[in-house]
Amino acid sequence: MRRLSIFLIAALMPLSLAAAPLHGIAMHGTPNLPADYRHLDYIDPAAKKGGAVRYGVVGTFDSLNPFVLKSMRTTARGLWDTIFGHLLYEPLMTRSSNEPFTLYGLLAESVEMNDERSFIQFNLNPRAKWSDGQPVTADDVIFTFELLKEKGRIPFSTRLTPVEKMEKVGERSVRFTFNDKVDREFPMILASSTPILPKHAIDADSFDQSTLKPPIGSGPYRIKSVSPGERIVYERNPDYWGGNIPAKIGFDNYDQISIEYFLQESTMFEAFKKGALDIYLDGSPTHWARAYDFPAVRNGDVVQDAFTPQLPTGMLGFVFNTRRPLFSDGNIRAGLSLAFDFEWANRNLFENAYTRTESFWQGSPLTSLGKPADERELRILGEASKRIEPSMLDGTYRIAKTDGSGVDRDVLKQAVDLLGKAGYRIKNGRMSDDAGRVLSFEVMTQSIDQEKLAIAYQRTLRLIGVDMRIRTVDDAQYQQRSAAFDYDMIVKSYPSSLSPGIEQIGRWGSASRDRQGSFNFAGTADPDIDRLIETMLTARSDEDFQATVRAYDRLLLSGHYMVPLYHVADQWVARRSYIRYPETLPLYGYQLNTWWDSRAK
């Protein structure tokens, strides 16, 4: 009833009186930067403009449309890209990497929003235009959301679900009035996570088809050339409308950006060694420690940089597909999780470079690790607290450590005992149920590193009679089978931020369980998980928000949906010495689209 009254009041208020224009909005609190800020606080406003950069990726592509299901896994990088930057398409507002979740104006010069967040109005920048010179209009915004609802892939297709009404206000404003499905994060997602598309340059009837026709965007770059599956080259748009607005000062510094495609990681690294790439993003500690003894490193032409962001660890692990009957039993998942000998793998495979990950938000105020659940958390959990293991509630939980021998009998006995609760016993050296069915499953891997991990896991499982098979597939098959949930177990990474929110629905929510292409790889459909996600999204205070995330962390950990693996604190990047970056490292770590070519004149 309270929510309904809020919407009635908002609807009856004159539009001009509902809210004052804002230069930025924050998920909690207010933006750090004032309305008259000159640039974001982690860039170098004196960064050189010009030159070029060459990136590399593993994979392929056959489409220049990243927003439809048909080309979801094979779209060219850079068009709409959180790593290389949104080179061609832009959102209404842009996110600061130096604040947990704060947005500043981009295509929208300002926004209007009331305290209840029952609506948001975007006021477009009058200078905003497409690469063909046409202005960005309110009609483009409305067209985008309607088109993506009809023909876009998840999550773009669901953007209007919490919207009661979308309307044009004046010549260059669009107002979204929300229904009772909205949460406090949604206006932020609406503003920052949807690309605005040009109505005049898109054939709506064929939009859901893959295409290699260079699109028109509002971003700082245009497509110069395309070699399907091999290379895409972007060139700076000299007439880019936004180069001088505060949110874009210090960004997009290269005249040309090339993205090269490789079939294997090893081939891509060889190309970097030979000088065919300028930047190599390294995620392997052994590779980082051993692979950089080549002439360009010794003479200083290649530099290794380690960046330490202020972020939660996230979670990398083997994911159980609970859609499979075998993995619907939590005792099986818990038992198999214990059987992974991290200490042996870390010592023998990774030179003890990793730390075991024991929480989805480890290393941040949002983690439940080492923190007893207080009264606020217990109230938020409600009856769900009875499902959580006592050690996870009282803050004493830790994953059992082995002696590193690879044959720790104490830990393996705990694993066998848990499997016994699910009806499995070791008979003639094989873990079997009463009907004689062997506990058997397959893990799908994508790379040599994943396969190496799986072999280490397989080695330990054999000791307790579990039959784990390994199938390594190419990138295209891996992405296809991932999207269709066609696997028993898979290796996946769940990055975490300081402002978790609506993305959790796509990862763990019941609504995403059966949606092909979603990130609900575990297949969870749990009312308690859904309720905590909703509570997280509607939290008004920092205290309630942090308590909810910690409670949510405990619930996910108690479900044993993953075999947690490991993390490192640093981000590793190797670069040509002429590629430079700002002195200030933002909260979220390095930002490639703020780097520049020092050779530029």
Handedness of CA 39, 42, 47, 51 (dihedral sign): negative
Per-residue model confidence as pLDDT tens digits over 359-416: 999 988 899 999 999 999 999 999 999 999 999 999 999 999 999 999 999 999 999 9
**Residue 360 corresponds to which tokens in the numbers above?**
């989805």
Q: Which contiguous run of DSSP H or E holds residue 332?
A: helix 330-338
Are the C-beta atoms of 475 and 446 separated by less than 8 Å? yes
Three-state DSSP at 138 gives helix
Given the DSSP bridges, would you call strands 315-320 and 302-307 parallel, antiparallel or unpaired?
unpaired
Angle between helices 342-350 and 448-463 in degrees, nearest 10: 140
pLDDT in tens, 30-69: 999 999 999 999 999 999 999 999 999 999 999 999 999 8
Amino acid 71: pLDDT: 63
Rounded Cα–Cα distance for residues 108 and 176 (Å): 14
Give the Cα separation of 259 and 102 in Å (integer): 29
In 419-454, which positions are buried (b, 16+ CB within 10 angstroms) versus exposed (e)? beebebebeeebbbeeeeeebebebbbbbebbbbbb
CA–CA distance from 520 to each of 149, 154, 402, 488 (Å)? Answer: 20, 12, 30, 14
For helices 409-421 and 330-338, the axis angle rounded to 10 degrees is 170
- Give the residue among 74, 101, 76, 100 at the shortest CA–CA distance from 89: 76
Closest CA to 246 of 132, 29, 93, 136: 93
Q: Hey, is 501 helix, strand or coil?
A: coil
Residues with pLDDT less than 70, the chain:
1-18, 71-73
Give the 3-state secondary structure of residue 146.
Answer: helix
List, in order, residues 6 or more apart from 170 with CB less than 8 Å away. Answer: 138
Nearest CA to 552 among 573, 569, 537, 571? 537
How high is the pLDDT of residue 72? 60
pLDDT at 538: 86
Buried/exposed 155-185: b ≥16 CB within 10 Å, e otherwise: bbbbbbebbbeeeeeeebbbbbbbeeebbbb
Q: Which stretch of DSSP H or E encloses residue 529? A: helix 527-538
Q: Which of 89, 118, 92, 94 is nearest to 104 (CA)?
A: 94
Dihedral sign of CA atoms 460, 357, 559, 527 in order = negative
pLDDT, residue 365, reads 87
Q: Quick one: DSSP state of residue 585?
A: P
Strand partners, 102: 26
Count of all residues that appear for the chain in the document: 601
Query: Residue 322's CB: how many other CB atoms inside 10 A?
Result: 22
- In whole angstroms, what is the distance from residue 357 CA to residue 554 CA? 14
- Let me know if 331 is exposed, middle or buried by CB neighbors in 10 A (0-12, 13-18, 19+): middle
Show the tokens assigned to 579: 């590629």
Which one-letter DSSP state was computed for residue 129? Answer: B
Question: CATH assignment of 315-566?
Answer: 3.10.105.10
pLDDT of residue 262: 95
Burial class, 383, CB count within 10 angstroms (exposed 0-12 / middle 13-18 / buried 19+)? exposed
